[in-house]
């Protein structure tokens, strides 16, 4: 029983961790090298990893996608430990608008122009902090979605993930509230009922014992 419980908990934890690693914003230190637009023919497998057509437009099965090509600094531990090593990274640049995840991003065109402007500064001056969510996966052709771009002078910057700090603090508060709510409900609404039921049960049990005594009595009489 304990093993079943443990496995169940691990599965829930893994699902939540994957969910948060996809949806929450992360910051990369990048050199913006170029921007481009490709036509993307979504399949049913990778469609959920794309957002939507630009806000105000109609949604078609096939459309053009803005991409931002970069070289990013590698990190350990989801960006907490910076490294010198570099690798290429491609970001898509799509409106999330009013849909999930709630980044309320309507300015994809402006962001693309900003990326082009940073790229045009040339090698060595094109450093930026890229805020994004999502994953890069080559087998399904999915890209993380860029949500913000901030030019910086060099790659040595300290990034504090304020949003994620507040988000997890709020999540813990919400969890504690739900627990308090459940305890209050159990203490005031469920426990009295169970107490009542167990009293009734004891009463029944006593009566049953009595009846059993009488029943056994028949055999003893013989």
Partner 1 sequence: MGFVRFVFFGYLGLTVIYWLINIYSRSVRLERLENEWAEGHPDDEGSDARQSFLDDGMAAYHASFRPKLIGLVYIIPTILVIVALVVRNSN
State the Cα–Cα distance between residues 41 and 64, nearest whole angstrom.
9
The alpha helices in 74-161, defined as continuous H runs, are 108-119
Q: Around Cβ 195, how many Cβ atoms within 10 Å?
A: 10
Q: Which stretch binds partner 1 (CB under 8 A): 7-15, 30-38, 65-73, 102-110?
A: 102-110
Q: Which of 188, 214, 220, 221 binds partner 1 (CB under 8 A)?
A: 188
Contact call for residue 106 and partner 1 (CB under 8 A)? yes
Q: For residues 190 and 211, which CB has a smaller minimum distance to partner 1 in the complex?
A: 190
Q: What is the pattern of x (binds partner 1, CB under 8 A) and - over residues 118-147?
A: -----------------------------x
**Pair 131, 115: CB distance under 8 Å:** no
Matching residue, tokens 């159990």: 186
Contact call for residue 161 and partner 1 (CB under 8 A)? no
Q: How far is the CB of 24 from partner 1 (least distance, A)?
A: 14
Matching residue, tokens 């040339």: 122
**Pair 95, 106: CB distance under 8 Å:** yes
Nearest to 115 by CA among 155, 148, 71: 148
SS3 206: helix
Q: How far is the CB of 138 from partner 1 (least distance, A)?
A: 29
Contact call for residue 99 and partner 1 (CB under 8 A)? yes
Q: For residues 19 and 170, which CB has a smaller minimum distance to partner 1 in the complex?
A: 170
State the Cα–Cα distance between residues 125 and 30, nearest whole angstrom.
11
Q: For residues 46 and 52, which CB has a smaller minimum distance to partner 1 in the complex?
A: 52
Q: Which stretch binds partner 1 (CB under 8 A): 91-99, 153-161, 190-198, 203-211?
A: 91-99
Q: Which of residues 167-186 bind partner 1 (CB under 8 A)?
A: 177, 180-181, 184-185
Q: How far is the CB of 166 from partner 1 (least distance, A)?
A: 11
State the Cα–Cα distance between residues 62 and 218, nearest whole angstrom.
87
State the Cα–Cα distance between residues 115 and 102, nearest whole angstrom.
22
Contacting positions for partner 1 (CB under 8 A):
52, 55, 97-99, 102-107, 110, 114, 147-148, 177, 180-181, 184-185, 188
């Amino acid at each position: 029983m304990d093993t079943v419980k443990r496995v169940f908990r691990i599965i829930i934890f893994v699902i939540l961790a994957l969910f948060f690693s996809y949806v929450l914003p992360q910051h990369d230190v990048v050199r913006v090298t170029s921007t481009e637009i490709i036509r993307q023919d979504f399949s049913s497998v990778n469609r959920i990893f794309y957002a939507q057509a630009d806000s105000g437009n109609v949604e078609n099965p096939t459309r053009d996608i803005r991409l931002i090509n970069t070289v990013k600094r590698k990190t350990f531990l989801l960006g907490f430990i910076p490294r010198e090593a570099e690798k290429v990274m491609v970001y898509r640049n799509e409106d999330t608008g009013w849909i999930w995840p709630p980044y309320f991003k309507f300015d994809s065109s402006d962001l693309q122009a900003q990326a082009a402007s940073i790229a045009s500064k040339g090698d060595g001056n094109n450093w930026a902090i890229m805020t994004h969510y999502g994953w890069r996966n080559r087998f399904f052709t999915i890209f993380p979605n860029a949500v913000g771009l901030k030019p910086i002078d060099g790659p040595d910057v300290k990034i504090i993930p304020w949003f994620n700090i507040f988000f997890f603090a709020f999540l813990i508060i919400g969890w504690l509230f739900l627990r308090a709510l459940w305890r209050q409900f159990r203490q005031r609404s469920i426990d009295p009922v169970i107490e009542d039921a167990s009293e009734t049960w004891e009463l029944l049990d006593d009566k049953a014992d009595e009846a059993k005594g009488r029943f056994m009595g028949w055999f003893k009489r013989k």
